[in-house]
């Protein structure tokens, strides 16, 4: 016992005298795995990696990271049984599309404050990083404004003082016009600090700032101009809705910014025109990453880096694909037949002649001949091929008496009457109603589909970028702004550039430009790029085109290309082969329009959908927030 | 020792069940939308009403549901005081407003079940609706009476006759199998409007159909309807 005690005392003495550090030093050890703010903002490489995280969290309404975001709004049929609620439901929820990501805003604010305080960064680096963070912040506020109208405009990191009264942290919603003014002013302020380089595409550039400016000003202008049609969407405090008299000022800004970008001072942007086949050329805009003058700002992906996406896997033609899946997004006939004919007129696809008799086509693709090349660039048509393999979409045989022989399995074989050997009676890509991953609308999507080998396999993925801003949209923004300012000739000039690239070489004159034309042009050029919802919202026609009424065939075929055409249910176009030996049309193709029995709902856009819901948690935490109009 | 602990914890568990649970609400508040005693028919699940309660919890309605297509509502509540309102911009009628523009509320004191009809002022009333089936057609005749004629008056955007296989009948895609529409500009005499629609093939076959008339007021989202009638074909 005595021995143990003495050993203990000895050890304690040794330890006590052996600790030669002062207590304050001993307890203050710098962690080796965490960087302090000063350390992090001392090295440009580290700052860039912080910024990369912020870039990665940008918000998109439609994105190739999730095909479902594109398969809505009557533009497509979701050919996956887990997502068919899109065509079964009637209303969009008031909370759909809403966003209140102030965590992201706070981190952007913190980044800006810390970068401002940094001492070790060079002035040039600092300027660019700050401009990029401000770009991202304006971008996110723009995204929130499109969804929510005015939101609290928080431009510094807020800190709670733990005194029990958080009211000084509660900010009211800014006016909707103030939100757009902020985005425009920020873009103006930072554009000189950003590189004017056409090859900077996945980071903010001067071109990206100008493209954002023109889009934001255009949105604000049209909300001001067309908001008068829907007075019930405006709140008395201006949190939603913009006074009509501000429209011209916004349109002027939109036009100026677009012209500045087109002038070339931000970099040598232009339309992508590299390939002979115009449809192929249009599809290439989205996957050609080498010297592409069209894309201005995009989310980039890279093979073997961990950042790849499965859009091609999810949507490729399923038959013979690299993975036993695909075919999820099926563009609707509504979209397909809205593409113009080469003589600048609209019309349905010629399924029957004037007398109501079916038209027989020698080749499956012939029915689509003579149309806007963007159709073939956006939609994979039956009879075309992908990765060297024909897309096998056809619904069966029509017999002499008009009856149909078809199958309920992909590529099924059956014996036709009057023959003895079984033959294939339906395409390996469908269409079969209710069978997921087949082309149930008769079409597959082509935009963003990666032609590279391996892009359709789950393990490899695709590195096709998601384009957020591109030159054609800037041209169309300029055209719309010019049109609204009464400069129809200028508008026609910009429209014709975009149209000529799509093979519509008969120019539109100043008198041809109408709002309906511009609406149609944006739908054709920018299909599946996340514009359809916001465009229809700002033109205040979402409640008209998505009015909740079921679409019959007359609705589908009348008024194509007009502003008010209903688009509540995706229709299909199925092709059949005629089996009538001896008939001159034997073996030729016939088309039939139909609506899938899966489509039971009809899109209804209610007034309460124009501005997405601010939920009760947010309202409870901050009594200064006013509710959205027209919601319960 | 162990056994005692087990028994103790088990009995604690039993007690907890009793303490934590309230009786469910039993007082029923019900009623319907009326204008001068006449029921207002609306679209199923589209016109909401809200009940608020003072004192605790978060901001927001304690009950947030909608009227049936006959314009009736019912909700089970605890005894206490509530405020009932219909949010702005909802319903084919005008609900009282405060000078600030916020919807005015009705104070409801619950002490057992009660019936409470909600008086509203519709823009129009569908008067004397007659819906009949003859041959393969359904014909409706009615009068559209303009109720609000002051500065808040609005025009008729269109009138519709809807048919459906089930008792749910409205303009929404799921709720009609056939419909006919006439725009307000094409109504020559609001006191004598007649609409006819052909009955489509019904699968599976049934020898009856449900019908009602809808009236859309310009600039107002929700339609006003006549009562649903069942017609034998």
- For residues A377 and A446, the answer to whether their CB atoms sit within 8 Å is yes
Residue B15: its pLDDT value, please?
52
Rg of chain A taking only CA atoms, in angstroms: 29
Give the Cα separation of B45 and B169 in Å (integer).
Answer: 12
Going by C-alpha positions, the residue among A570, A569, A632 that lies closest to residue A606 is: A632
Give the Cα separation of A279 and B71 in Å (integer).
Answer: 54
Q: Which of chain B's residues have a Cβ under 8 Å away from the Cβ of A604?
A: 172-173
* Closest in B48, B171, B221 to A632, CB measured: B48
Give the Cα separation of B87 and A334 in Å (integer).
Answer: 36
Give the Cα separation of B220 and B103 in Å (integer).
Answer: 16
Give the Cα separation of A173 and A125 in Å (integer).
Answer: 34
Residue of chain B with shortest Cα separation from A550: B173
Judged by a CB distance cut-off of 8 A, whether residue A602 touches chain B is: yes
Residue B57: its pLDDT value, please?
66
* Closest in B50, B89, B174 to A601, CB measured: B174
Question: Given an 8 Å threshold on Cβ–Cβ distance, is B50 in contact with A632?
Answer: yes
DSSP designation for A615: P
Interface test with A, best of B89, B97, B180 (most A CBs within 10 A): B89
Residue of chain A with shortest Cα separation from B66: A632
Residues 6+ apart with CB under 8 A from A151: A100, A141, A144, A145, A173, A174, A179
Residue range B62-89: mean pLDDT, rounded: 89
Give the Cα separation of A26 and A546 in Å (integer).
Answer: 69
Going by C-alpha positions, the residue among A265, A263, A267 that lies closest to residue A294 is: A267
Q: How far is A237 from chain B (nearest CA, A)?
A: 11
Tell me the residue ranges of DSSP E strands in A260-388. 295-299, 329-331, 379-380, 385-386
Residue A591: its pLDDT value, please?
94
Question: Given an 8 Å threshold on Cβ–Cβ distance, is A619 in contact with B176?
Answer: no
- For residues A626 and A619, the answer to whether their CB atoms sit within 8 Å is no
Give the Cα separation of A175 and A246 in Å (integer).
Answer: 13
Give B232: exposed, middle or buried? Use CB within 10 Å, 0-12, 13-18, 19+.
exposed
Give the Cα separation of A343 and A16 in Å (integer).
Answer: 95
Q: How far is A550 from chain B (nearest CA, A)?
A: 4
In A149-277, alpha helices (H): 176-190, 206-226, 247-262
Q: Which of chain A's residues have a Cβ under 8 Å away from the Cβ of B88?
A: 629-630
Going by C-alpha positions, the residue among A583, A317, A579, A592 that lies closest to residue A423 is: A579
- In this predicted structure, the answer to whether residue B173 has a pLDDT above a threshold of 80 is no
Judged by a CB distance cut-off of 8 A, whether residue A596 touches chain B is: no
Digit-coded pLDDT (tens) for A538-567:
999 999 999 888 888 888 998 888 888 889
At residue B174 the predicted structure's pLDDT band, cuts being 50, 70 and 90, is confident
Structure tokens at A361: 């086509």
Q: How far is A355 from chain B (nearest CA, A)?
A: 24
Give the Cα separation of A471 and A507 in Å (integer).
Answer: 19
Residue A449: its pLDDT value, please?
93
Structure tokens at A180: 């757009």
DSSP designation for A512: G
Q: What's the pTM?
A: 0.90
Question: Given an 8 Å threshold on Cβ–Cβ distance, is B172 in contact with A617?
Answer: no
Tokens 């139909």, located at residue: A594
Give the Cα separation of A566 and B173 in Å (integer).
Answer: 12
Judged by a CB distance cut-off of 8 A, whether residue B48 touches chain A is: yes
* Closest in B50, B59, B88 to A623, CB measured: B59
How many helices (H) and strands (E) chain A has is answered by: 21, 14
- Window A:22-51, CB contacts with B under 8 Å: none
- For residues A136 and A130, the answer to whether their CB atoms sit within 8 Å is no
Interface test with B, best of A233, A552, A618, A632 (most B CBs within 10 A): A632
Judged by a CB distance cut-off of 8 A, whether residue B200 touches chain A is: no
Structure tokens at A449: 């589909």
Q: Which of chain B's residues have a Cβ under 8 Å away from the Cβ of A629?
A: 88-89
- For residues A393 and A320, the answer to whether their CB atoms sit within 8 Å is no
Give the Cα separation of A410 and A64 in Å (integer).
Answer: 27
Angle (deg, nearest 10), helices A247-262 and A471-484: 140
Whether the upstream peptide bond of residue A487 has omega within 30° of 0, thus cis, is no
Q: Which of chain A's residues have a Cβ under 8 Å away from the Cβ of B50?
A: 632
Judged by a CB distance cut-off of 8 A, whether residue B103 touches chain A is: no
Tokens 């401009």, located at residue: A131
Question: Given an 8 Å threshold on Cβ–Cβ distance, is A549 in contact with B90?
Answer: no
How many helices (H) and strands (E) chain B has is answered by: 1, 19
Residue of chain B with shortest Cα separation from A617: B58
Residue of chain A with shortest Cα separation from B162: A549
Q: Is the dihedral of CA A160, A166, A168, A169 positive or negative?
A: positive
Residue range B40-66: mean pLDDT, rounded: 83
- Window B:211-230, CB contacts with A under 8 Å: 219, 221
- In this predicted structure, the answer to whether residue B13 has a pLDDT above a threshold of 90 is no
Residue A552: its pLDDT value, please?
87
Q: Which helix (H) or strand (E) holds A155?
A: none
* Closest in B101, B173, B221 to A550, CB measured: B173
- For residues A292 and A285, the answer to whether their CB atoms sit within 8 Å is yes
* Closest in A236, A604, A620 to B60, CB measured: A620
Judged by a CB distance cut-off of 8 A, whether residue A548 touches chain B is: yes
Compute the CA torsion angle A94, A96, A97, A103 (nearest 10 deg): 90
Going by C-alpha positions, the residue among B75, B44, B83, B77 that lies closest to residue B168 is: B44
Residue A565: its pLDDT value, please?
87
SS (H, E, C) B20-70: HCCCCCCEEEEEEEEECCEECECCCCCCEEEEEECCCCCCCCCEEEECCCC
Give the Cα separation of B22 and B79 in Å (integer).
Answer: 13
Residue B3: its pLDDT value, please?
63
Kindly give the parts of chain A with pLDDT less than 50. none
Question: Given an 8 Å threshold on Cβ–Cβ distance, is B60 in contact with A569?
Answer: no
Going by C-alpha positions, the residue among B85, B70, B67 that lies closest to residue B39 is: B70
Residue A255: its pLDDT value, please?
96
Give the Cα separation of A540 and A527 in Å (integer).
Answer: 19
Give the Cα separation of A114 and A47 in Å (integer).
Answer: 10
Q: How far is A233 from chain B (nearest CA, A)?
A: 9
Phi/psi of residue A589, nearest 5 degrees: -100, 140
Give the Cα separation of B203 and A60 in Å (integer).
Answer: 42
């Amino acid at each position: 016992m005595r021995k143990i005690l003495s050993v203990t005392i000895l050890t304690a003495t040794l330890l006590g005298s052996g600790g030669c550090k002062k207590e304050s030093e001993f307890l203050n050890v710098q962690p080796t795995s965490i960087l302090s703010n000063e350390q992090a903002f001392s090295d440009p490489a580290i700052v860039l990696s912080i910024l990369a995280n912020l870039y990665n969290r940008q918000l998109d309404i439609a994105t190739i990271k999730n095909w479902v975001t594109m398969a809505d709004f009557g533009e497509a049929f979701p050919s996956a049984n887990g997502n068919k609620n899109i065509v079964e439901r009637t209303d969009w929820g008031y909370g759909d599309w809403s966003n209140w990501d102030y965590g992201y805003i706070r981190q952007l604010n913190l980044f800006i404050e810390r970068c401002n305080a940094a001492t070790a960064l060079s002035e040039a680096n600092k300027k660019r990083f700050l401009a990029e963070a401000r770009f991202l912040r304006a971008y996110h506020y723009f995204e929130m404004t499109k969804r929510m109208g005015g939101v609290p405009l928080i431009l510094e990191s807020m800190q709670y003082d733990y005194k029990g009264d958080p009211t000084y942290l509660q900010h009211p919603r800014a006016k909707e016009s103030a939100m757009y003014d902020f985005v425009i002013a920020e873009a103006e302020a930072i554009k000189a600090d950003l590189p004017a380089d056409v090859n900077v595409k996945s980071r903010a550039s001067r071109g990206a700032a100008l493209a954002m400016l023109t889009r934001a000003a255009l949105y604000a202008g049209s909300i001001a101009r067309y908001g008068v049609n829907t007075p019930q969407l405006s709140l008395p405090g201006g949190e939603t809705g913009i006074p009509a008299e501000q429209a011209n000022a916004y349109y002027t800004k939109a036009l100026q910014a677009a012209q500045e970008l087109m002038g070339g001072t931000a970099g040598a942007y232009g339309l992508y025109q590299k390939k002979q086949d115009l449809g192929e050329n249009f599809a290439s805009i989205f996957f050609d990453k080498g010297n592409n003058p069209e894309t201005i700002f995009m989310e980039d992906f890279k093979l073997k880096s961990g950042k790849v996406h499965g859009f091609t896997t999810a949507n490729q033609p399923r038959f013979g694909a690299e993975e036993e899946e695909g075919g999820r997004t099926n563009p609707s006939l509504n979209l397909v037949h809205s593409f113009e004919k080469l003589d600048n007129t609209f019309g349905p696809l010629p399924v029957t002649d004037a007398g109501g008799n079916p038209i027989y086509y020698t080749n499956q693709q012939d029915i689509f001949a003579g149309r806007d090349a963007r159709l073939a660039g956006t939609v994979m048509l039956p009879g075309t091929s992908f990765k060297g393999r024909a897309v096998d979409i056809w619904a069966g045989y029509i017999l002499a008496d008009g009856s149909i022989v078809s199958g309920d399995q992909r590529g099924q074989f059956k014996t036709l009457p009057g023959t003895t050997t079984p033959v294939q009676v339906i395409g390996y890509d469908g269409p079969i109603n209710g069978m997921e991953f087949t082309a149930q609308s008769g079409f597959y999507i082509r935009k963003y589909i990666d032609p590279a080998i391996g892009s359709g396999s789950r393990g490899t993925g695709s590195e096709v970028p998601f384009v957020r801003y591109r030159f054609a949209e800037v041209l169309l923004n300029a055209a719309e702004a010019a049109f609204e300012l009464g400069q129809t000739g200028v508008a026609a000039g910009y429209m014709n550039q975009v149209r000529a690239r799509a093979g519509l070489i008969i120019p539109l004159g100043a008198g041809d430009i109408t709002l309906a034309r511009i609406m149609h042009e944006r739908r054709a050029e920018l299909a599946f790029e996340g514009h359809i919802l916001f465009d229809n919202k700002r033109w205040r026609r979402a409640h008209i085109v998505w009015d909740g009424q079921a679409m019959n065939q007359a609705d589908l075929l009348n008024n194509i290309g007009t502003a008010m055409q209903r688009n509540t249910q995706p229709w299909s176009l199925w092709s059949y082969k005629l089996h009538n030996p001896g008939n001159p049309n034997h073996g030729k193709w016939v088309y039939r329009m139909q609506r899938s029995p899966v489509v039971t709902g009809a899109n209804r856009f209610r007034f309460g959908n124009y501005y997405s819901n601010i939920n009760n948690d947010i309202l409870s935490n901050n009594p200064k927030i006013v509710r959205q109009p027209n919601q319960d | 020792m162990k056994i005692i602990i087990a028994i103790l914890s088990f009995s604690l568990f039993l007690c907890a069940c009793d303490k934590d649970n309230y009786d469910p609400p039993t007082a029923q508040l019900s009623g319907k939308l009326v204008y001068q005693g006449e029921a207002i028919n609306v679209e199923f699940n589209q016109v909401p009403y809200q009940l608020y309660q003072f004192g605790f919890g978060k901001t927001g309605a304690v009950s947030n549901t909608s009227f049936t297509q006959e314009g009736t509502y019912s909700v089970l509540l605890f005894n206490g005081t509530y405020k009932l309102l219909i949010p702005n911009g909802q319903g084919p009628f005008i609900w009282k407003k405060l000078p600030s523009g916020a919807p005015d509320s009705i104070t409801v004191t619950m002490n057992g079940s009660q019936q409470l009809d909600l008086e509203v002022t519709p823009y129009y009333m569908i008067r004397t609706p007659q819906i009949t089936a003859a041959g393969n057609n359904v014909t409706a005749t009615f009068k559209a009476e303009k109720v609000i004629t002051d500065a808040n008056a609005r025009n008729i955007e269109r009138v519709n006759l809807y048919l459906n296989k089930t008792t749910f009948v409205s303009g929404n895609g799921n709720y009609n199998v056939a419909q006919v529409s006439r725009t307000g500009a094409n109504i020559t005499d609001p006191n004598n409007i007649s609409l006819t629609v052909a009955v489509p093939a019904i699968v599976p076959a049934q020898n009856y159909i449900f019908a009602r008339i809808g009236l859309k007021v310009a600039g107002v989202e929700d339609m006003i309807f006549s009562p649903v009638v069942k017609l034998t074909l």
